[in-house]
Amino acid sequence: MNTPVRHASTRWIAAFGAAALGAGLLAGCTPATTDGGETSDELYIAVQDDPVCLDPQQVTLTTALNISRQLVDSLVDQDPETGEIVPWLADAFVASDTLKEFTFTLRDGVTFSDGSALTPETVKANFDALAALGSTAPLASQYLAGYQATEVVDESTVKVTFAEPNAQFLQGASTITLGMLSDETAALTAEERCLAPVGSGAFVLDEYTANDAVVLSAREGYGWGSSLRASSGDAAIKSITFAITPEPGVRTGGLQTGEFDMIFDLPAIDEQRFSTGDYEIYARANPGIPTSLVPNTERPIVSDPVVRQAMILATDRTEIAELTGSSMVQPVAGVLSSATPSFLDQADALAFDLDAAEQLLDDAGWKVGAEGTREKDGTPLTVSVTAFYGQDVLEATQVQLAKAGIDLKINMVTAGDFFGAVASKDFDFLSAGLTRTDPDALRVMLSPASEAHWAVIDDAELEAQLTAQAATADPVERTAILAEAQQRIVEQAYLVPLLEVAQVHASQKGVSGVAFDSSSRVNLYDVTVQR
């Protein structure tokens, strides 16, 4: 049951009144100074979305994941710069040569905020419950694909077993999605877990009022942070209020007046405005597959690789980034995001070349018609794209492709209808990305053997590469296989990359210690605030 937000959260309410005074007045305001200020134990953050559900194992919404990261710890962590997997709740971990078994030795003394201890039985309860949730936990079901069982080996050791090799599981174990919850939480229904998840994290959930705010408080006696964190012991910040603030102008206005210490999802149009010494901007590309056109090659026109290749050449990714993306992140340069381990820079192969695109289509018999759209044997070169977000990106792409004589129809639908189209294969192209830190995202998106695949592709060579990388433990060998797969995907145009999506946030200059994890979600454990 939702409860009222505590009085400490009233500080951010003034931001709504300030925003109502108009953009002109806000532009004349100055932020609260931090020079010589005192350290504060409260942090106020404006977020764009209502999280709806706070169970980290079920949610996919970025806002919900950013909040939940503060509540839960994971068995392992991943260095966002190197990709190295390091200890967290597990002191030690080992994968079998077959990549079907993963053994974790748990850290001593870890407790959940309800006082219960982390045990091997807890890990088993978490993974068994997640397997039972199935598609209700869509991200977890991908990490746990082929899950067989979790075995309690002894009082501090647990072994997780899969039916097939699962090279990406250790990375999955570092995510918020596979963060550990108490035994009692794991036993709740999916709906019950959303409102009262109990984790072992440095913060606990005080209150959540839908469409209003989420309030967290620091745990006393916390002492098992990831080895990647700078601090130890209790968090310096004693409370965090996430003010649910859908209007971008209210978020930026509140940051400028000092009502908010930090805002998530800084609009691209405001990046220059806050690129001064009075503020800090935090930006990191989402790992995984960037926003791309994902084909159904069973469709008559889409089945033609020349058409798909011409679409790659006729797409100006630099212009798309300038029109719709963040200035903090470079244009997309591959079928994997630059933040993903084993990323292969394919900027040259993806370079905009309208003349080459037109020549390809000319040679294949696609001739420009009276209306500017190409035709072949009386069939116009018209394809559609189905999407539920990113209309501005698609409109920019539509204009570019039209210059090559390709007519792209945009079909904006609800999320439910989008996934319905995926299930029925009723699409030419999808516009979508997949945020995953492990490059196995390519297999998840493209392999017909993946239960979560969206693309409709039949390519034995690519399938062999995607299967092989998922079963390869040696990182150098795996990267080499993934390089071949990425080259194959561009050569056959199985993805038409459009935009490298980034997480961009901003804070007052007195805020320090904000960190992105390897999934580009925010960890606030090390944060300090001076006002």
Condensed to tens digits (0 to 9), the pLDDT of residues 365-402 reads 999 998 899 999 999 999 999 999 999 999 999 999 99
Considering the chain, what percentage of its residues have pLDDT values greater than 70? 93
Q: pLDDT, tens digit, for every residue of 230-254? A: 989 999 999 999 999 999 999 999 9
Provide the token pair at 286. 């989402």
pLDDT at 11 over 60: no
Q: Residue 15 — pLDDT band, cuts 50, 70, 90?
A: very low
Instruction: For residues 46 and 253, give the distance between their C-alpha atoms in angstroms, rounded to a whole number.
Output: 11
Mean predicted confidence (pLDDT) in 213-223:
97
pTM: 0.84
In 41-141 the beta strands, taken as DSSP E runs, fall at 42-47, 76-78, 85-87, 90-95, 101-106
- Cross-strand pairs, 530: 39
Task: Calculate mean pLDDT across residues 140-155.
Answer: 93
Q: Give the mean model confidence (pLDDT) for residues 13-41.
A: 47
Can you give the pLDDT at residue 36? 53
User: Do 453 and 445 meet the contact criterion of CB atoms below 8 Å apart?
Assistant: yes
Report the 3 state secondary structure along 149-200: EEEEEECCEEEEEECCCCCCHHHHCCCCCCCCECHHHHCCCHHHHHHCCCEC
State the chain's mean pLDDT as an integer: 91
SS3 letters across 115-134: CCECCHHHHHHHHHHHHHHH
Q: Which amino acid is at 263?
A: I
Does position 12 have pLDDT exceeding 70, yes or no? no
| Residue 65 Cα distances to 51, 52, 68, 84, 222, angstroms | 8, 11, 5, 22, 21
* pLDDT score recorded for residue 10: 45
User: Which has the closest alpha carbon to 227: 94, 77, 73, 70?
Assistant: 77
Name the packing angle between helices 391-403 and 317-324 (round to 10°): 150
The pLDDT of residue 450 is: 87
Determine contact, residues 263/63, Cβ cutoff 8 Å.
Answer: no
pLDDT of res. 135: 80
At 96, list the tokens.
């079998």
Q: What is the pLDDT of residue 451?
A: 80
What's residue 328's pLDDT?
Answer: 84
Q: Is residue 6's pLDDT more than 60?
A: no
| Each residue's pLDDT tens digit, 407-455 | 999 999 998 899 899 999 999 999 999 988 899 999 999 999 988 899 9
Higher-scoring residue by pLDDT: 467, 370: 467
Write out pLDDT tens, residues 54-109.
999 998 889 999 999 999 999 999 999 888 999 999 999 999 999 999 999 999 99
Q: How far apart are CA 302 and CA 133, in angstroms?
A: 35
Position 27 pLDDT exceeds 80: no
pLDDT given at position 34: 43
User: Where do runs of H (alpha helix) occur along 21-77?
Assistant: 23-27, 62-68
241 or 32, higher pLDDT: 241
Across-strand partners of 114? none
Instruction: Report the pLDDT averaged over residues 357-361.
Output: 98
**Res 312 pLDDT > 80:** yes
